[in-house]
Structure 1
Amino acid sequence: MRMIFGLVLLFGVALAGGAVYMAKNYIGAYQAELARERAAREQVVPTVTVFVADRALKYGEELTREDVREVNWPETAIPEGAFTEMDTLFPPNNPAPRLIVRDMEASEAVLAVKVTEPGQDAGLTSRLERGMRAFTIKVDVASGVSGFLRPGDKVDVYWTGQIGSNDGRKEVTKLIEAAVRLIAIDQSAVSLGEATIARTVTVSVSPEQVAALAQAQATGNLTLSLVGTGDDTIASAIEVDQRTLLGIVEEEVIVQAQEEKVCTIRTRRGAEVMEIPIPCTN
């Protein structure tokens, strides 16, 4: 009987020891997993809710709650002017709609510069940045890049006219403005999606550029050159005249100095003849 009791006691002690060992391993594994989770949380970038377009939005459309959705955006990379609260984007005390003033693609952040204030008109003035002015340039099929211009494109503006005095006038073509932004074609600020021959284009320029373009348009012909998307190169000063175009090099005229004329008289003294210089009279 004592032997049986002793065996049962030993078996119970063994079970208890095994349970303690298993519990210790479980607790250790749990603590290690908890530490890994805490470390992973520390490495996660903090985010903020930002509203983005749920579909492609075009200029002039009305922005509704169904057109936007919330996404988690890295807190350190929030675009300037992004909306982080629904009441800010759609003020409850102002039910007037916002209008789209710049095209947006799906999942693109809705920014303050891309929409109007509630109830504000989405006219041409809403596309002008601070300090900029709208100026209209007359174009045709040749000077307007065959109708392939769209609002939002950038163009270089070239002037062709005559410079110089009456005796030395020459016709030149010169780059006067580089990478100016188009905000309207004819009377439309919306991209029509097909090539149309425009009669006028409206650009966004500074007041100084307005004066330069007005003077250039009054004294010569303006031609536009389309700048490629993403092209960040800066065009240098460009001026071409007919001689440069044809590779004509002006010949250097060498003026030879006239030799000074010397007049002399001859006199004879015995067998010796002497020449005496005298002023020339003719």
Structure 2
Amino acid sequence: MRGIFVLVLIVGVALAGGAVMMTKKYVSAYQNALAQERASRVENIPTVDIFVATDTLKYGHRLTKENVRQVRWPKESLPEGVFTSLEALFPPGSDDAPRVILRTMEKNEAIMASKVTLPGEDAGITSRLERGMRAFAIRVDVSSGVSGFLRPGDKVDIYWTGQVRQEGAVQGDFTRLIETNVELIAVDQKASNDIDGAVIARTVTVAARPEQVAALAQAQSTGKLTLALVGAGDDTIASVIEVDQRKLLGLGAIEAPQEVEREQVCTIRTRRGAEVVAIPIPCTN
């Protein structure tokens, strides 16, 4: 009887061990299948190897190989102008002529051609001028320069205040909007937008077409220029605006006095002794 009990115990233990092994094998197979499914799901998204910043890169910083690293980026959301090879980002022989940062880039931000110079190119304001544009400096102070809150990259409207002489007479002071949505490329001698706090600038540099430069030069030499900051994302175009003192006070235009028609009087002169006398006669003409 004792032998049968031992035999049953051994068989039970063997069956339990077999069940445990089968369960472990099943769980392991399920985990492997799940891992393979997840891996295949990731591989189904096409990716491209690009270069990103390893740390915050500010304007004027020289770009080196230590500042970048290669990552996999989804192909469908690939930014324009990224670098996909180390040879494109650092051409042979560029060690002595490195690229320079034009715009601040944060850590893990993609390195793009619009944010760095060409190898060996200076990061001055010339690199920020588009084709056909020119740089023009405007004198400003705390009142005309929006209290020092201007930054490179901002857009401003430009107003002219002065006097106009016509036929030798001064027509009075008035203010007129002369240019709209003009882009600032530098404040004083700083072309970077990494400016902390308000800066009371003495000059700002704008990007303008040659005909705009001529108009701004004439306006600056004949009156005072004032800048008005345009809001970010504001694409409205301001119409012609002109205000003088009478319009500001709500007064109408000064009307010229009407000439009173005078009655024509015709006379003849005759001498009476030593006296000359004018005698009225009817006018025939």
Q: TM-score, normalised by structure 1?
A: 0.69
CA offsets 1:234-282 (integer angstroms, 9 cap, x no match): 2222211112211112377897998x9xxxxxxxxxxxxxxxxxx9879
After TM superposition, give the deviation of residue 86 of structure 1 in Å. 1.5
CA offsets 1:199-240 (integer angstroms, 9 cap, x no match): 111111111111111111011100011122222222222211
Aligned residues: 228
- Report 1:177-188 matches (<5 A): 177-188=179-190
Q: Which residue of 2 aligns with 1:128?
A: 129
After TM superposition, give the deviation of residue 50 of structure 1 in Å. 2.8
Alpha carbons of 1:253 and 1:147: their partners in 2 closer, same or farther (altered >3 Å)?
closer
Alpha carbons of 1:90 and 1:254: their partners in 2 closer, same or farther (altered >3 Å)?
same
- Report 1:59-208 matches (<5 A): 59-96=59-96, 97-163=98-164, 165=166, 166-167=168-169, 169-190=171-192, 191-208=194-211
Alpha carbons of 1:195 and 1:171: their partners in 2 closer, same or farther (altered >3 Å)?
same
Q: For 1:146, what is the secondary structure of its paired residue?
A: helix
The question of 1:56 aligning with 2:56 is answered yes
- Equivalent AA in structure 1 for residue 62 of structure 2: E
Distance 2:237 2:69 in 1: 38
Check conservation: 2:94, 2:119, Cα contact below 8 A: yes
Distance 1:106 1:235 in 2: 39
Check conservation: 2:141, 2:202, Cα contact below 8 A: yes
- Equivalent AA in structure 1 for residue 155 of structure 2: K
Distance 1:101 1:186 in 2: 17
CA offsets 1:122-155 (integer angstroms, 9 cap, x no match): 2221221221111000011111111111222221
Q: Which deviates more, 130-139 or 76-85?
A: 76-85
CA offsets 1:163-183 (integer angstroms, 9 cap, x no match): 351446132211111121111
Distance 2:225 2:256 in 1: 36
- Calculate the aligned-residue CA RMSD, in Å: 3.3
Distance 2:172 2:103 in 1: 43
Q: Which residue of 2 aligns with 1:11?
A: none
Distance 1:233 1:71 in 2: 40
- Equivalent AA in structure 2 for residue 92 of structure 1: P
Q: Which residue of 1 aligns with 2:274?
A: none
After TM superposition, give the deviation of residue 104 of structure 1 in Å. 2.5
Q: Which residue of 1 aligns with 2:221?
A: 218
Gaps of 5+ in 2: 1-33, 264-281
Distance 1:251 1:173 in 2: 18
Runs of 4+ in structure 1 deviating by more than 6 angstroms, as ranges, are 39-42, 251-258, 279-282
Distance 2:41 2:205 in 1: 53
Distance 1:237 1:76 in 2: 44
Check conservation: 2:163, 2:170, Cα contact below 8 A: no
Percent identity reads 61
CA offsets 1:15-43 (integer angstroms, 9 cap, x no match): xxxxxxxxxxxxxxxxxx9xx99x9799x
Check conservation: 2:53, 2:107, Cα contact below 8 A: yes
